[in-house]
Structure formats: structure tokens, C-alpha cells
Amino acid sequence: MKNIFLLLWITVLFVPDSCAQDTDSGSIPKKTSWYNRLRFDSEFRFAVPPEKESAVWNYLLIRYKNPEILLGTSKNSSLILSQPSPERDTKEVFRGAILKNQGSPYLSRFAEELFLDTYYDTRNLHVLDAKAGVRYRRRFYEKEPGKMSPDKELVQIKFNSENPSDTLVRGEFKFPVKSKKKKNDSAPQPEEEKKQREPDEYVYKMVKKKEQKDFLEKATLLKTDPMKLRRKLDLEQLRKRVYILRNDTTFITLTLDLVNSKKWGIKAHFAEVEFEINEKVFTVSDTNTRNRLWNMLKLLEDDLVKTFPDLVQDQLPKYNKMANQFEKKIPAFRFWLRNEKRIILILVCLVIFGVGAPLIRKKIR
């Protein structure tokens, strides 16, 4: 019997991916869409220890109640955003809006948001090793005090700069997802949403049919087979955010992210504070404007470090940070994550053999 179990273990553990993959590949249409435009995230991130989480958020609340204390009066600033016009293209608005000399003051707005993120990867964790990201995201915002309402959901592909030393800028594509909500459905709360919509095992199946071909093409930038990107980790992220605005246009956000996850009954947590240039503003800006934005963001970052000198900058993506947290709690976590499906199959087979073998022997006798 021991030999049978050993043979079973070896066979299942090393079965090719093609055998383990879902055979239903879906229908990939030929029609493409321009929904998935390339954007760039530009941000500083600092790890926040649990004992500093409340203090950091209180700092953001107090310090940015009046953002002009740090940024200077907008009338004297060389970095001002103009009022967007529905008649002008978004790209034109942001590109031509940065260098005006007068206008309304910088304003701040505070908000709490909740994100339910499901991360996808290959069996060999290629996306994790590349410090990239493929995720299905559901966003909720606080429409009423203490009540989160659903806002949007999408699939994202994130990848790093080709320059390994450039960890502050990441590229991103966004894709719309299939709608599973009926017209008469009321807006579900986060806990209800988790039960109502279980993320698909393969990420491309979450993308709208007409966008799937584009998604698969863009996912090849990760240098892996996008058809094999399977569900790996689920993260729940409470985002406490400060929006800095000019003429009702957000151009910088300051965020405290409280991130939790659970895998095989084990819980993990981390927190980080993030200073980010609005992705639309940064994407369409020229080099000179980007440098001005960077200088402004650096000013805010320096103020944080002066207040909390023990915070450590950590540009790792959230997917990697959560995996690192699990590695501290689960020995050989990456091995178990890589072989999760095979190990489940092994355990099922062992149970079947364990229960069935005595019955077979009994009948033979």
C-alpha cells in the first residue's frame, strides 16, 4: 500500500500543466477594442508596522486638511490643473492643464474604499517572480456612513519597467468584466458580493467576451501563457485615502492601505502608505511636467519621513508582499501554492484509496 501511495504522489505532482488545466478554453472572439489603453502608475510606497497604522492615518488627516500648507498657494505654483471640459479629449485636458499660473486653490477630500482583489498566476508563479500582477478587482465606496456600496469591477495587468532599477513606475492595462448582475438586483454589500460572485478559476473568463482577445495579447507581455493564469490569492484591502484636487481634478492621492488575506485557514496582514501621481495625469504628461510632478510628490514624501523616520520604503507589489507574509507563517509556502491543485487531488485519492482498500480486501476474503 505504501508503494501505491508513493507512486500516486509522484504521478500527480509531476503531471504536465496541460493535463491539469481546465479543458474549456472558451470562445475567443476576433474583434478588438481600444478600452485597454496603456497607463502608468507612479508612486512611493512605505511599509507601515501595525503599531503605527493609526498614527499614520491621523497624520494624513491633520496634515492634509489644508494641502496648501505643504504645496504653497496655487496662485504662485507652476503646477496647476485646469478645469476639464467635456468637449475636449481627456489627453488634451491633462497635457495642456499643468502650466497655468492662477486658478482655484488646492483642495483635499478624504474617503474610505474597500477592494476585493483576486490574483492570478501560472503554476510556476511566473507573475509573482516577475513582480508583476494580474488581478480581478471589485471596488466599494462608503456611500453612507458605515455602509459600503459597489462602485466598479475590472481586470488589471500590471508590469514593471524594463529598467530593473526603476521600481517607481509601473505599466498597467485595464479590462471590463462580464456582468453577472441582473437589472433588478439591489446593490450587494461586500460580504454578500463575495458569496454572489465567486471569481472564475481562469482570469480571462472574467473579461468581457469582446475584450478577451485584447486581454490575451496584452498578457503575453508578461512572457507567459495567459490561458494558464489561475486563481492564487484573495486580498481584502481597506483603503483610507486623501485626494488632492485642483479644479475638481485629482492629481495626487495619499493612501493608507490595510491589507488582509486568508489561505488554507491561515490569516496574513500588512499595511503600507502610498503617495501616487494620478495615472491619467502622469501618462499623458511630457518629461518636463513629469519632473514637476515628481518634485511635488517628493516634497510630500519628505514630510512623511520627517514625521516617521523609521518607515522603510518598500516598492514591492501587494501580491508579493502578501506572499512574503504567508512565507513567514507557512513553511515552503511557494511550494504548496505552486502545487495546490495537485496536492488536493493527491489527498482526495489517498482518502479514496484509504477507505476503498480495506473494503476491497474484505470482499476478496
Residue 364 per-residue DSSP state:
H
More confident residue, 141 or 119: 119
The span from the CA of 360 to the CA of 326, in Å, is 41
Distances (CA, A) of 149 to 81, 107, 187, 238, 269: 30, 25, 7, 13, 24
Kindly state the average pLDDT of the residues 67-83.
52
Please give the pLDDT value at position 55. 96
For the entire predicted model, the pTM comes to 0.76
**Residues of the chain with pLDDT > 70: what percent?**
68
Question: Is pLDDT of 348 > 90?
Answer: no
Please give the pLDDT value at position 285. 80
- Asked, for residue 170, whether it belongs to a domain, the answer is yes
Please give the pLDDT value at position 221. 86
Claim to verify: residue 351 and residue 320 sit in the same structural domain: no
Smallest CA-to-CA distance from 1 within 359, 348, 357 is with 357
Specify the amino acid at residue 47. A
CATH of the domain at 204: 2.40.320.10
Claim to verify: residue 212 and residue 352 sit in the same structural domain: no
- With a CB cutoff of 8 Å and minimum separation 6, the contacts of 352 are none
Kindly state the average pLDDT of the residues 88-115.
57
Claim to verify: residue 161 and residue 298 sit in the same structural domain: yes
For residues 74 and 80, is the Cβ–Cβ distance under 8 A?
Answer: yes
Claim to verify: residue 261 and residue 342 sit in the same structural domain: no
For residues 259 and 235, is the Cβ–Cβ distance under 8 A?
Answer: yes
Q: What is the enclosing helix (H) or strand (E) of 350? A: helix 340-364
Claim to verify: residue 323 and residue 303 sit in the same structural domain: yes
Claim to verify: residue 235 and residue 254 sit in the same structural domain: yes
Claim to verify: residue 347 and residue 286 sit in the same structural domain: no
Claim to verify: residue 294 and residue 343 sit in the same structural domain: no
- Asked, for residue 359, whether it belongs to a domain, the answer is yes
More confident residue, 88 or 146: 146
- Model confidence at 147, in pLDDT bands (50, 70, 90)? confident
- Asked, for residue 1, whether it belongs to a domain, the answer is no
Distances (CA, A) of 210 to 161, 204, 214, 217, 234: 28, 11, 8, 13, 26
Claim to verify: residue 296 and residue 337 sit in the same structural domain: no
Beta strands in 179-265 (DSSP E): 230-246, 249-263
- Asked, for residue 10, whether it belongs to a domain, the answer is no
Please give the pLDDT value at position 235. 97
- Asked, for residue 8, whether it belongs to a domain, the answer is no
Domain that holds residue 359: 333-365
Claim to verify: residue 213 and residue 348 sit in the same structural domain: no
Claim to verify: residue 312 and residue 345 sit in the same structural domain: no
Distances (CA, A) of 317 to 141, 146, 211: 23, 29, 25
The domain tally of the chain equals 2
